[in-house]
Amino acid sequence: MKLRVIAAAVLLLTAACSPGSGEGGGGDGKSFEFWSFSGINQKAAVEEYKKKKPDVEVKLTEVGNAQETAQGLTTALAGGKVPDLVLIQGDDLPKFVEQPQNFVDLKTLGADEIKGDYLDWVMSQSIAKDGQILGIPTDVGGMAMAYRTDLFAAAGLPTDRESVGKLWPDWNAFIETGKRYTEKTGQPFIDNAATSVFYQAVNQGSQKYYDDKHELIYSTNPHVKSAFELGIKAAQAGITAKQSSFAEGWSAAMQQGKFAALAAPSWMLNAIRSNAPETAGKWDLAAIPGKSGNWGGSYLAIPKRAKNPKAAWDYIKTMQSPQGQLEHFVTSGALPTTPSVYQDPQLTGRNEPFFSNAPIGKIYPDSLLGLKPFYIGPDSTTIGTEFLDAITNVEQNNGNPATAWDDAVRNIKTAIGK
C-alpha cells in the first residue's frame, strides 16, 4: 500500500511539472479535467453527465485508490498542474480543509444557495474555519453485510436476509458465524478482517481517533481498542480469505466465490456488480452487526489554480443536486447525501435485482438512523491506515497479535509525530 502511494506520487509529480500549470480562470465552460479514485466506476457518472451535456468534454483520470489520489493531489497542489475537479474521500478531506487557500471557495460559484440541500453533519466537514465551502458531498456510505445465499445454503446457514441478520447481533456473533461456516465448508467466510470487521466496528462509536474538542485520542479511546481487538480476533479465527479490499486478488476471489460475505456500504454494490457480474442473483444484503454504520462518502472540490472552474462547478451542480444524486442512486446504489429525496418512491421502493431484490432503499437509510457522527481530523487516514496494516500483518504475514496494538500505536506516533 505505502509503496503504491509513493509510486503514484512520483508519477503525478512528473505530470505536475509539465507545462500548462495555470493560475485559475473561467475557461470556456466546454471542458474540464477530473481526477477520481478507482474502484467506484466514476466513468458511469461522467457518462450520465455527458448525456445531459453532450457538448462538454470531460477528461477523467482514475489516479489510483482513494489514498493515492489524495497523495497525488497533495503533490499537485505543491506547485504542479492541478485538475479542474477532484474527488476526495471523506477521511482524506480534513487535511485539505486545513489549507483552504489551495481551493476555490465554492460560495463564489453559488454553493451558499445549495448547501442546505445536504445532511448537516456531512456538509459541515467540508467547511473551513473561516467559512469557506471547499467541497460538495457526493454520497454517504450507509452499511449492510453482503453475503452469498448459495454459499450460505451449502454451509447449512439460513439464507433469507432477516434470519441472516439475526445470526450476528454483534461482532463477536459475526465471528462465531464465520467459524461455523468455515468449519462446515473448509472455505473462508469473509474477505479480510481489517475492512470487514475492524473498520466497521470502529466507525460505530460516537468518537473515533479524535474527541469532540478535536484532540487526539486514538491510543486511549476504549472503543478504538475494542474494535482493533475484534479485528485481531477475526484475523486469528481462520475465517478470512486474506484478500485486502480492492486488490487484484480480492476481485478474483469475489468472482470465484472464495469468500461468502463482505462489508458492503451502498457504493460497494457497484463494485460487486463490476467485479463479479456472473454472480447476479446469488447475493443478498443483511443488517450489519450493531445495525448502524457508515463507510466512506466523498466530496467534489475545485483546486484554486483550476483552469476551468466554471465547467467543473456545472458538473457539481448538475450531478450532486438532489435529483442528480437520486438518479445516481437508482443506477449505482450510492446513497444520496440529500435528505429531501429519502422519502422519494424511487429511493424507498428501490429493490436491487443483482442482490436478490434486496430493498436497498430501506436497508441503507435505516443503517444511518443510529449513527452518531464523529469528528474526522487531518490525521484520521494515516491513523486508520496504520491500524488496518497492523491487523493485515497479523492476518497475512504471521505478525504477532500480542504486540499488534503497541506496534500500531508506535507507528502512528512516528507517522504523525504525536
Summarised one tens digit per residue, pLDDT across range 162-215 is 999 999 999 999 999 999 999 999 999 999 999 999 999 999 999 999 999 999
CA dist 256 and 278 (Å) reads 10
CA dist 321 and 123 (Å) reads 13
Superfamily holding 2-139+296-338: Periplasmic binding protein-like II (3.40.190.10)
CA dist 322 and 342 (Å) reads 10
Superfamily holding 143-293+353-416: Periplasmic binding protein-like II (3.40.190.10)
- For the chain, the domains span 2-139+296-338, 143-293+353-416
Q: What is the pLDDT of residues 361-390, one digit of tens each?
A: 999 999 988 777 899 999 999 999 999 999
Cell numbers for 52, please give them. Answer: 445531459
Residue 38 has pLDDT above 80, yes or no: yes
Looking at mean pLDDT, say which of 16-20, 247-251, 407-411 comes out highest: 407-411
Q: What is the pLDDT of residues 126-147, one digit of tens each?
A: 999 999 999 999 999 899 999 9
Pairing of strands 31-36, 85-89: parallel
321: buried, middle or exposed (CB in 10 Å: 19+, 13-18, 0-12)?
A: middle
Angle between helices 42-52 and 322-332 (to 10 degrees): 130
Give the model's pLDDT for residue 102. 97
Give the model's pLDDT for residue 40. 77
Give the model's pLDDT for residue 369. 80
Would you say the CATH fold of 143-293+353-416 matches that of 2-139+296-338?
yes
The residue-averaged pLDDT of 313-341 equals 93
Give the model's pLDDT for residue 169. 97
Confidence of residue 25 (pLDDT cuts 50, 70, 90): low
Q: What is the pLDDT of residues 61-103, one digit of tens each?
A: 999 988 899 999 999 999 889 999 999 999 999 999 999 999 9
Give the model's pLDDT for residue 368. 87
Give the model's pLDDT for residue 13. 35
Q: CB within 8 A of 349, min separation 6: which ones?
A: 361
Q: Report the chain's mean pLDDT, rounded to a whole number.
A: 91
Q: Is the backbone of residue 146 left (phi > 0), alpha (psi -120 to 50) or beta? A: beta
Confidence of residue 248 (pLDDT cuts 50, 70, 90): confident
Residue 32: in which H helix or E strand, if any?
strand 31-36
Give the model's pLDDT for residue 3. 33
Residue 4 has pLDDT above 60, yes or no: no
Q: What is the pLDDT of residues 265-299, one digit of tens each?
A: 998 998 899 899 999 999 999 999 999 999 988 99
